[in-house]
């Protein structure tokens, strides 16, 4: 299996962004008419999830046929093991509950993971026409996507970077659908914190662009839920760690991250 580094990621970045943009369009085409079903674990899935995954998996197979792909809907019935080389990690529609509710806080996520670490991330928000992307060590940017646009003709707002941690009010992103007691207790240690509820990996992107300071989740989540956002944030100068400060490692047998803290500025 190939091992992809930052240089290889840079060569694929525009093509991967185009794939994510096409998946976003596929979601929008069925928005409002997507029948909701339940997977084996009780989580919802719609035709939009499946349409986006089909677009992404086909695109990745054409772009890099030798690189393995792990995707959420695929893993729900066939859970491959990632091994130690590079692989694509895909969440075709992150924030399905927000999508079903008619909110715009859902995303398409594509990441490249090498040796257990996300090194490239692309996050698109189909409903708003915004994308965030980055390669660790090479920076991150926010750009516009939409019907008929390609990366070559993108409208970019330029590079993004995390902000310095404020001395007073900490702006903390929290999950709209998964805020549990352990996370609440952790956030309570910051008495001046202002909480902002949001769905999907948009929370990572708010930190990456300097609009927030912390995103905490002290409950398990799947690798594909956070890998792309993790890479974008790290590329923008932020950091994602376990609660004890150790590294977050991807590729466990269960493809689960027990808990994490995402910081724009951890100092």
Q: What is the pLDDT of residues 167-199, one digit of tens each?
A: 888 999 998 777 788 999 999 999 889 999 999
> Is 70 exceeded by the pLDDT of residue 213?
yes
Q: What is the pLDDT of residues 52-95, one digit of tens each?
A: 999 999 999 999 999 999 998 776 555 556 666 899 999 999 99
Mean pLDDT is lowest, of 108-122, 149-163, 190-204, 249-263, for: 149-163
**Beta-sheet strand order (sheet of 194-198):** 194-198, 171-175, 214-217, 260-263, 239-241
Confirm if 224 and 255 have CB atoms less than 8 A apart: yes
Look over the chain and give the mean of its residue pLDDT values, rounded to a whole number.
Answer: 89
Q: If pLDDT is split at 50, 70 and 90, which confidence band does 105 have?
A: very high
> Is 50 exceeded by the pLDDT of residue 148?
no
User: Quick one: pLDDT at residue 191?
Assistant: 85
Q: Which domains does the chain carry? A: 6-160 (3.30.540.10), 171-263 (3.40.190.80)
Q: If pLDDT is split at 50, 70 and 90, which confidence band does 152 have?
A: very low
Of 42-51, 140-149, 215-224, which has the strongest mean pLDDT? 215-224
DSSP per-residue codes, 82-151: --SSEEEEEEEEE-HHHHHHT-S--EEEEEEEETTEEEEEEEEETTTTEEEEEETTTEEEEEE--TT--G
Confirm if 48 and 24 have CB atoms less than 8 A apart: no
User: Quick one: pLDDT at residue 30?
Assistant: 86
Whole-number Å distance between alpha carbons of 148 and 194: 38
């Amino acid at each position: 299996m190939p091992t992809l580094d930052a240089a290889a990621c840079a060569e694929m970045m525009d093509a991967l962004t185009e794939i994510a943009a096409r998946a976003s369009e596929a979601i929008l085409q069925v928005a409002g008419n997507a029948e909701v079903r339940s997977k084996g674990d009780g989580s919802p899935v719609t035709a939009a999830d499946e349409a986006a995954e089909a677009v992404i998996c086909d695109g990745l197979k054409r772009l890099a046929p030798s690189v393995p792909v792990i995707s959420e809907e695929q893993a729900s019935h066939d859970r491959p093991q990632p091994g130690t080389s590079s692989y694509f990690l895909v969440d075709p529609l992150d924030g399905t509950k927000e999508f079903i509710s008619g909110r715009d806080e859902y995303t398409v996520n594509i990441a490249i993971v090498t040796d257990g670490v996300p090194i490239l991330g692309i996050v698109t928000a189909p409903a708003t026409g915004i994308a965030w992307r980055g390669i660790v060590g090479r920076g991150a940017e926010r750009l516009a996507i939409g019907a008929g646009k390609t990366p070559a003709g993108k409208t970019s707002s330029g590079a993004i970077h995390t902000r310095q941690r404020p001395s007073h009010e900490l702006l903390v992103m929290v999950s709209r659908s998964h805020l549990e007691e352990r996370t609440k207790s952790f956030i309570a240690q910051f008495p001046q914190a202002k909480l902002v509820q949001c769905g999907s990996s948009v929370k990572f992107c708010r930190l990456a662009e300097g609009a927030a300071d912390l995103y905490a989740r002290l409950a398990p989540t799947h690798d594909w839920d956070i890998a792309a956002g993790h890479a974008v944030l790290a590329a923008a100068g932020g950091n994602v760690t376990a609660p004890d400060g150790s590294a977050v490692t991807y590729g466990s047998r269960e493809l689960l991250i027990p808990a994490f803290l995402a910081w724009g500025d951890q100092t």
